[in-house]
Amino acid sequence: MLDFWATWCGPCIAELDEVQKFYETIRDSSNNKIILLTIACHDNKIKVYSHLRESNYTFPVAMSDDKIEKIFSIYGLPSKILITPEGNYLRVSDSDWVGFVKEICDL
């Protein structure tokens, strides 16, 4: 799953605790059905990593190259995309995104 977010995005920051809990759940799971990569968009690397450090977040973060948002048609943040084993993209737009992802991935 890809999670697009930014430090300047209020709704993104509001859900990062939930992202961290989800990451810990899948990281500690033995089924290996899903991996998470978060992508900080239109942001400053120092701000991103300072925020992660201050909040004790350990989920993986990549800095956007400002092209990946176009590849996945990301026009608003936060945005989540599941990539199936077949390479299909599934937008996660449910407000209960954790429940939705767990159901879809049979976690």
The total of other beta-carbon atoms located within 10 Å of residue 13's CB is 15
Q: pLDDT 10s per residue in the chain (107 long)? A: 999 999 999 999 999 999 999 999 999 887 778 999 999 999 999 999 999 999 999 999 999 999 999 999 999 999 999 998 899 999 998 788 999 898 888 86
3-state secondary structure of 46: helix
Q: Which residues contact 25 (CB under 8 A, 6 or more apart)?
A: 107
Report pTM: 0.93
What the chain holds in terms of domains, given with CATH numbers, is 2-91 (3.40.30.10)
Say if CB 68 and CB 39 are below 8 A apart. Answer: yes
